Amino acid sequence: MAVIRQKMKSPQGTVRRLIIRLVFACIILGLFVWQASAAVLPQDRSDAMYHSYEGGGISIDGPSILLRKKIGNKVSVSANYYVDTISGASIDVLATASPYSEERTENSVGVDFLHNKTLMSVNYTSSSENDFEAESFHLGVSQDFFGDLTTLTLGYSKGNDEVGKTGDDSFLELAERHNYQIGITQVITKNMILGLSVENISDQGFLNNPYRSVRFLDPNTERGYSFESELYPNTRKSNAAAITANYYLPYRASVYGEAKIFSDSWGIQANTYKLGYIHTFGDDWIVELRARHYQQDKADFYQDLYTRSAEFNFRARDKEMSTFNNLSLGLSVSYEFQFSTDSLLKKSTLNLDFEHVNFDYDDFRNVLSNASTEVVPVGTEPLYQFSANITRLYLSIFY
C-alpha cells in the first residue's frame, strides 16, 4: 500500500522510508512472484514485528501487528497497527534545540477484490502524534493479460496532513498530496521477470518542517552565525521511474536488481541502484544478501550557510535537501515451520532482518564540531556523516 505523507520532524521521515524499503527488500522475491500472477488474493496471515533504528542521534523502536483474512474466494481484508517510539535528536535539531521524545501511532485497513483476472485494492491509513496528523487513501487495480504473462498495475493515492508545532497551540498548517502510479511486469522466460514503473507526485500546502532552521552569517554573535526558520515553496511536482529484474537460478536461488531515477520541481535529481541475492537451503531456510546505493543533488534553494538573513525568497538547510549519498548492506534470514496437514495453520516463518546504512553529505556541515574540537572558521566545519543500524524481527503465521 502506498502511504503519501511527509514526516515533519527530524529525521523520522528518512527513517520511516528506510524501514519501508527494508520491508520491500525482505520480501522482494514474493513480490516478483505476486506481480507475475497478480490476479490472486493475498494469503491469510498474521504478522507480529518488532523494529529498531539506531543512528544519527536518533533511536526508534516499536511493535507492528498485521492481520489478513479472506472472505470467500473474492475478498480479502487486512488491518495493521504500527507504533514508533522516538527519542533523541538529529544534528539539525541539536543545533537549535534539545533532544525530545514522542510516539507515533499508525493504523491502516484495506480490502482487496478479485474478479476474474482483475485485482482491485482499497486502503486507508491514519497516523497520529503530538504535533502531526495524517491520513491517506489508496486505490489500486491490477490486470493480467496474454496468458498471465503480462501484468498491468494502476494506482492513485491521496494524502492530507495537519502540521502542528509543540509549544505553539496556534500553529496549524495543511498539506495535500496526490500520487499516480503505473507499472507493467512481463514474464520474459520461465526464469526471468522484468518490471517497469512510473510515478508522479503532486504536493501542495505547507511542505517544510516548522522546527528546522537555516543559518546565516552574523558577525554580531560569538559563533559568527545565527538561525532563522526555513521557508519552502508551497508546491512540489515529482517524477520517478524504475526498472526491476528478477532471475531465478537453477539451484533454488534468485538474483534481483533495480534502477530508479527521480526528479522534482525543486531541482533535486536522484538515482537508486539495488542488487540482491536470495538462496534457499533445504526446505526451511531462506537467506538474502542485498546492497543498495542512493545519491541525490541538492534542492535549488538549499544552502548550508547564507550570507545574510532572508537572503532569498526560499531557504532550506534540511540535510535531506542537500547533496548526499548513502550505501546500505542488508542480510535477511527466514526459517519456515510446517504444520501437520490436519492443522488449522498452514505454516509459520520466523524472520530476522538487519541493515547497515552509511550516510555521507557533500554540502551539509557539522556545526556541533566546534563544541568539542578546535574552533574552525564558519563555513569550513567538517562535512557531516553518520551510520545507522536497522533491525527487524517478526513472526508470520499463515492459515
Whether pLDDT at 102 is above 70: yes
Rounded Cα distance, 292 and 387, in Å: 14
Of 20-24, 81-85, 209-213, minimum mean pLDDT range? 20-24
Per-residue pLDDT, averaged over 169-192, amounts to: 96
Whole-number pLDDT of residue 92: 77
Do 388 and 357 meet the contact criterion of CB atoms below 8 Å apart? yes
Contact indicator for 322, 303 with CB cutoff of 8 Å: no
The reported pLDDT for the residue numbered 34 is 36
| Cα atoms found within 13 Å of the Cα of residue 222, Cβ hemisphere only | 3
pLDDT of 329 strictly over 50: yes
Q: What is the pLDDT of residue 269?
A: 98
pLDDT at 4 over 90: no
Average pLDDT, the chain: 89
Polymer length of the chain: 399
Amino acid in the structure at residue 252? R
Report domain extents, the chain.
12-398
Average pLDDT rounded to a whole number, residues 236-245 = 98
Tell me how far apart the alpha carbons of residues 60 and 326 are, in angstroms, rounded to a whole number: 19
pLDDT at 36 over 70: no
Per-residue pLDDT band for 17 (boundaries 50, 70, 90) equals very low
- Tell me, what's the pLDDT at 97? 73
Q: Is the pLDDT of residue 134 over 80?
A: yes
Task: Decide if 343 contacts 395 (C-beta within 8 A).
Answer: no
Section 274-301 average pLDDT? 96
CB 38 within 8 A of CB 144: yes
Cα three-residue angle 159-161-167, rounded to 5 degrees: 170
Determine contact, residues 180/5, Cβ cutoff 8 Å: no
Q: Does residue 274 surpass a pLDDT of 70?
A: yes
Stated pTM of the model: 0.86
Higher pLDDT, 70 or 3: 70
Rounded to whole angstroms, the Cα distance separating 40 from 119 reads: 7
Residue linked to cell 546500505: 328
Q: Inform me whether the pLDDT recorded for 77 exceeds 60.
A: yes
Query: Of the candidates 356, 280, 393, which has an alpha carbon nearest to the alpha carbon of residue 54?
Result: 356
Read off the pLDDT of residues 194-230 as tens digits, 9 standing for 90 and up.
999 999 999 999 999 998 999 999 999 988 999 999 9
Q: What is the pLDDT of residue 373?
A: 58
Listing DSSP states for 285-335 in one string gives: EEEEEEEEEEEEPPPTTB-SSBSSTT-SSSBB--GGGSSEEEEEEEEEEEE
DSSP labels for 144-198? EETTTTEEEEEEEEEEEEEE--TT-TT--EEEEEEEEEEEEEEE-SSSEEEEEEE
Q: Decide if pLDDT at 294 tops 60.
A: yes
Is domain 12-398 annotated with CATH 2.40.160? yes
